[in-house]
Every structure is written in C-alpha cells, then in structure tokens.
C-alpha cells in the first residue's frame, strides 16, 4: 500500500510529462485536481481512461478514431474527391478549426528525411498514392509546414502524382489575417510580395 504522499508525487511526475507543464505547474495542477476531486478529477480520470482505451488510428487517413474508420472518413457529407495531406493530427485539427475544408485528410505522421533515414515507405507514401488513385481523388492539397523536410516531402508527393490525373495544390502563403507587417518574418513578407494580387 502506497502512502498518499507517494501517490500524489507520482501523479505530479506523470502530469509534469505533459507539454506546457513543468514540475512546478504540475504540482499546482494536481493540487487543484485534489481540491476538485469529485467535480473535476474523477470525471477527468474516467474520460481519460475511456479515450486511452478506445482511441486508435483511422486505418484510412491516420486521424484518431474510436472505430476502424474515423468520423471524417465515414461522414458521407465530406467530399471524397479532395484529400488534404498533413504531417500530424494536430495539423488536421487546425484545418478543421478553420471550417473551410470539406474534403478528407491523410496524416503522414512524419516527413521524408535523409538525415534520419526516413524514406517514402516509412511514412506510407505508397499507400497514400494507391489511395488517391483508387478513391478517384480530383485534388490533393498539400498542407505541410515550411521546414526543409516538409518541402522535400511535398515535392516528392507532387512528382509521384505527375502521371496521375490529379490536381496538386498547396496552401497559399502570405500575411496572416490581422497580422502586422512589423512582426512578420522576412520569408513571409517575401512570399506575400511574390504572390501579390491586383487590389
């Protein structure tokens, strides 16, 4: 039988492994949890246990799901003709928050990297390509980051689809809505100038 102090210390150590929480803020969080143990800690534990047990990767797109196919892939209202390619589920969530994309996704889960010896098979590009052909996708939207690896991956996918009857696009680059020029990095300003539009 562990003592209360030991259990609470273990709980603090586990909480401190979450991004954004250090040892000090994990301690404060656990204190808050114990104070609200019936209204917050107990429901949180139950839900966490359930999500941990029920969540898996969608076998089609890599999104999180509670069944073999995720909510988005199994939604008949989503356009099967458009696939948005993202690096990870965080990016998929960000796209969904934008509420502008009505197609489906493909989560790569990683980027090509010569340094880390990550090749096309490691991030499932062959199965992505066959998915695009078999589902008769009209447009592939590359929503990848600006890193060297992500851009290499984007070019690799675009090249591989050159023969297929698919339009390949990527997200526009430019000044964020409400962004102040003074706070933008040089690369963004250069990209926004290159892609300038008639007013």
Instruction: Give me the least distance between CB of 137 and a copy of itself, in Å please.
Output: 23
- Total residues contacting a copy of itself by CB under 8 A comes to 48
* Neighbouring C-beta atoms of residue 139, cutoff 10 Å: 15
Q: How far is the CB of 111 from a copy of itself (least distance, A)?
A: 16
Please tell me whether residue 27 binds a copy of itself under the rule CB under 8 A. Answer: yes
Q: Within 10 Å of residue 47's Cβ, how many Cβ atoms?
A: 10
Nearest 5°: CA angle at 38, between 35 and 39? Answer: 90
Q: Tell me whether residue 56 or residue 155 sits nearer to a copy of itself (CB atom).
A: 56
| Site membership for a copy of itself, residue 66 (CB under 8 A) | yes
| CB 89, min distance to a copy of itself, A | 6
Measuring CA to CA, which residue among 56, 55, 61, 34 is closest to residue 45? 34
Q: Which of 68, 79, 81, 90 binds a copy of itself (CB under 8 A)?
A: 90
Nearer to a copy of itself, 100 or 181 (CB): 100
> ∠ CA 58-101-160 to the nearest 5 degrees?
65
Nearest-angstrom CA–CA distance, 61 and 101? 15
Chain centroid to CA 115: how far? 23
Say how many Å lie between the first and final Cα of the chain, rounded: 72
Cβ contact 66:55 at 8 Å: yes
CB of 107 to a copy of itself, least distance (A): 12
* 138 makes contact with a copy of itself (CB under 8 A): no
Enumerate binding residues for a copy of itself (CB under 8 A).
3-5, 7-8, 10-11, 14-15, 17-21, 25, 27-29, 31-34, 37-38, 40-55, 64-66, 70-71, 89-90, 93
């Amino acid at each position: 039988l562990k003592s209360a102090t030991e259990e609470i210390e273990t709980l603090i150590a586990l909480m401190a492994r979450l991004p954004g929480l250090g040892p000090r803020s994990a301690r404060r969080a656990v204190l808050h949890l114990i104070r609200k143990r019936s209204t917050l800690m107990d429901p949180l534990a139950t839900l966490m246990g359930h999500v941990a047990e029920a969540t898996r990767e969608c076998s089609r797109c890599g999104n999180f799901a509670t069944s073999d196919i995720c909510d988005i892939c199994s939604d008949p209202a989503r356009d099967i003709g458009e696939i948005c390619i993202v690096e990870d589920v965080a990016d998929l969530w960000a796209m969904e928050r934008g509420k502008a994309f009505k197609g489906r996704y493909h989560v790569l889960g990683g980027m090509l990297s010569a340094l880390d010896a990550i090749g096309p098979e490691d991030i499932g590009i062959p199965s992505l390509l066959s998915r695009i052909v078999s589902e008769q996708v009209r447009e592939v939207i590359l929503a990848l980051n600006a890193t060297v690896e992500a851009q290499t991956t984007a070019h690799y996918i675009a090249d591989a689809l050159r023969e297929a009857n698919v339009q390949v696009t990527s997200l526009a680059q430019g000044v964020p809505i409400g962004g102040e020029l003074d706070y933008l990095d040089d690369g963004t300003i250069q990209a926004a100038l290159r892609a300038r539009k008639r007013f």
